[in-house]
């Protein structure tokens, strides 16, 4: 029997997404926790990428919980890749496609290459490979980093992107020391953007803002060259809250200014939605206590810890040259955030 013909989603969604295709390419068959926002991110990502897409994913929840024996939610070609190798797998996959097309072994057509990773595999262990991928303009690729703020799959160890003070398996709160996680969260999209003027597109988004997320994935896939999108994803198991709060927490993180909706398209920095209103002074940021007090990982916080957290977020908004994005006075793009 002939294989059913694949339908290509309406590429009109390229510019602004107004009509979304009904087809899903990440469906049932996974075993992520109830309320897992990273699974939702995979669904959004696959939906706007469409069927002409190859996906690779590093070890982590979105590998392990998605590939139980004999079942998978992916209806796109998908391959697991080693924990720190997101960037290299994206380069290799894109290079292989290019070679096959050049040799005439497959039709010369647009095929999306997406490599996903999380904060542990991408933001810590695989940072060098992300850097390599952002430097190489020969290949079209998207790295999507789903930030659930811990090494979740191996039972919630602290990563370089775990928020200050959070309880994890590596950073418990004890009688002698209330706070044992002293590192401030690493800003990976800004780090990559600042150091890689060769990158065509960088974006930060959130699982709570599906349209923003899908638009950013689509924008990235429409570019030639390397692109990077990061998502902020509440994880009920690691953050210790009732799964029905997932969406609310994702939105609240943006309302409090803890994570910021921004992108940088060929050197032009832009803010979106709530974050844009906050940057323009039209909307006040919500107190971070509202967000912190809803999560078990911050339940040990004293008032002074909340005040410290708030002061660091205020600093990021009030003192940084690009609010919530970059703190340095000199960016590779010159004053005001645009390439001089
Ligand atoms: C080189 C290597 N070291 C350690 C592991 C064990 N390991 C598997 S998944 C994982 C956690 C990955 O964390 P992250 O990248 O944040 O993904 P998440 O589990 O949060 O989805 C670890 C440490 C591994 N698979 N490979
Ligand atoms: S531990 Fe967190 S990221 Fe992993 S499947 Fe559960 S909710 Fe999702
Ligand atoms: Mg993680």
Nearest-atom index, ligand 2, CA of 65: 5
Please give the pLDDT value at position 8. Answer: 46
Ligand of minimum distance to the alpha carbon of 38: 2
Please give the pLDDT value at position 5. Answer: 52
Please give the pLDDT value at position 330. Answer: 47
Asked whether the beta carbons of 59 and 80 are under 8 A apart, the reply is yes
Parallel, antiparallel, or unpaired: how do β-strands 262-265 and 268-271 relate?
A: antiparallel
Beta carbon of 36 within 6 Å of any ligand 1 atom: no
- Our mutation pick for probing the ligand 2 site, out of 30, 36, 43, counting the most ligand atoms within 8 A of Cβ, is 36
**What is the distance between the terminal CA atoms of the chain, rounded to a whole angstrom?**
59
Task: State percent of the chain over pLDDT 90.
Answer: 86
Please give the pLDDT value at position 68. Answer: 85
- Our mutation pick for probing the ligand 1 site, out of 57, 61, 83, counting the most ligand atoms within 8 A of Cβ, is 83
Task: State percent of the chain over pLDDT 70.
Answer: 91
| Mean pLDDT in residue range 277-306 | 98
| Residue 337 binned pLDDT confidence (cut-offs 50, 70, 90) | very low
Residue 184: CA atoms inside 13 Å, Cβ hemisphere, count?
A: 11
Residue 80 CA to residue 65 CA, distance in Å, equals 12
Ligand of minimum distance to the alpha carbon of 32: 2
| Residue 260 binned pLDDT confidence (cut-offs 50, 70, 90) | very high
Cβ within 8 Å of residue 232, ≥6 positions away:
147, 204, 205, 206, 207, 208, 250, 253, 254, 259
| Residue 11 binned pLDDT confidence (cut-offs 50, 70, 90) | very low
Per-residue model confidence as pLDDT tens digits over 153-194? 999 999 999 999 999 999 999 999 999 999 999 999 999 999
| Residue 340 binned pLDDT confidence (cut-offs 50, 70, 90) | very low
Per-residue model confidence as pLDDT tens digits over 101-128? 999 999 999 999 999 999 999 999 999 9
| Residue 16 binned pLDDT confidence (cut-offs 50, 70, 90) | low
| Mean pLDDT in residue range 30-37 | 96
Tell me, in angstroms, the distance from the centre of ligand 3 to residue 251's CA. 19
Is pLDDT at 334 greater than 80 in this prediction? no
Residues in the chain: 340
What is residue 141's DSSP assignment?
Answer: E
Instruction: Tell me the pLDDT of the chain averaged across its residues.
Output: 92
Residue nearest (by alpha carbon) to ligand 2 atom 2: 235
Please tell me which residue, 95 or 330, carries the higher pLDDT value.
Answer: 95
| Mean pLDDT in residue range 263-276 | 94
Q: At what angle do helices 127-135 and 86-102 cross, to 10 degrees?
A: 40
| Residue 6 binned pLDDT confidence (cut-offs 50, 70, 90) | very low
Domains delineated in the chain: 24-326 (3.40.50.970)
Residue nearest (by alpha carbon) to ligand 2 atom 4: 61
Q: Does pTM top 0.85 for this prediction? A: yes
Instruction: Dig out the tokens for 320 from the structure.
Output: 């940084």
| Mean pLDDT in residue range 285-296 | 98
Beta carbon of 238 within 6 Å of any ligand 1 atom: no
| Mean pLDDT in residue range 217-224 | 95
- Give the residue among 157, 147, 227, 161 at the shortest CA–CA distance from 192: 227
User: How many other C-beta atoms are found inside a 10 Å radius of the C-beta of residue 280?
Assistant: 9
- Our mutation pick for probing the ligand 1 site, out of 42, 60, 232, counting the most ligand atoms within 8 A of Cβ, is 60
| Mean pLDDT in residue range 29-58 | 96
Asked whether the beta carbons of 143 and 115 are under 8 A apart, the reply is yes
Residue nearest (by alpha carbon) to ligand 1 atom 3: 83
| Mean pLDDT in residue range 301-329 | 93
Nearest-atom index, ligand 1, CA of 63: 21
């Amino acid at each position: 029997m002939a294989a059913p013909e694949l339908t290509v989603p309406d590429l009109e969604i390229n510019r602004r997404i107004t009509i979304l295709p009904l087809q899903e390419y990440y469906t049932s068959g996974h075993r992520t926790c109830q309320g897992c926002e990273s699974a939702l991110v995979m669904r959004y990502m696959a939906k706007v990428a469409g069927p002409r897409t190859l996906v690779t994913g590093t070890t982590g929840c979105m590998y392990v919980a998605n590939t139980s024996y004999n079942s998978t939610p992916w209806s796109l070609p998908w391959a697991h890749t080693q924990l720190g190798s997101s960037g290299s797998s994206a380069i290799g996959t894109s290079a292989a496609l290019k070679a096959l097309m050049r040799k005439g072994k497959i039709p010369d057509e647009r095929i999306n290459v997406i490599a996903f990773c999380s904060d542990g595999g991408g933001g810590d262990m695989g940072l060098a490979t992300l850097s390599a991928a952002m430097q190489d303009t020969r290949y079209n690729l998207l790295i999507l980093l789903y930030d659930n703020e811990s090494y979740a799959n191996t039972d919630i160890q602290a990563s370089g992107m775990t928020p200050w003070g959070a309880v994890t398996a590596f950073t418990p709160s004890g009688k002698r020391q209330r706070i044992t996680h002293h590192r401030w969260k690493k800003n990976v999209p800004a780090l990559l953007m600042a150091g890689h003027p060769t990158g065509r597109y960088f974006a930060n988004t959130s699982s709570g803002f599906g349209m923003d997320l899908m638009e950013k994935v689509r924008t990235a896939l429409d570019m030639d060259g390397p692109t990077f999108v990061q998502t902020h994803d509440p994880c009920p198991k690691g953050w210790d809250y009732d799964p029905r709060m997932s969406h609310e927490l994702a939105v609240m993180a943006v309302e409090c200014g803890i994570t910021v909706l921004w992108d940088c398209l060929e050197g032009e920095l832009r803010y979106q939605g709530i974050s844009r209103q906050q940057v323009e002074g039209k909307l006040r940021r919500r107190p971070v206590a509202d967000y912190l007090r809803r999560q078990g990982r911050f339940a040990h916080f004293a008032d002074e810890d909340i005040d410290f957290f708030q002061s660091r977020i205020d600093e990021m908004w009030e003192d940084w040259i690009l609010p919530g994005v970059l703190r340095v006075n000199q960016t590779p793009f010159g004053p005001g955030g645009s390439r001089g």
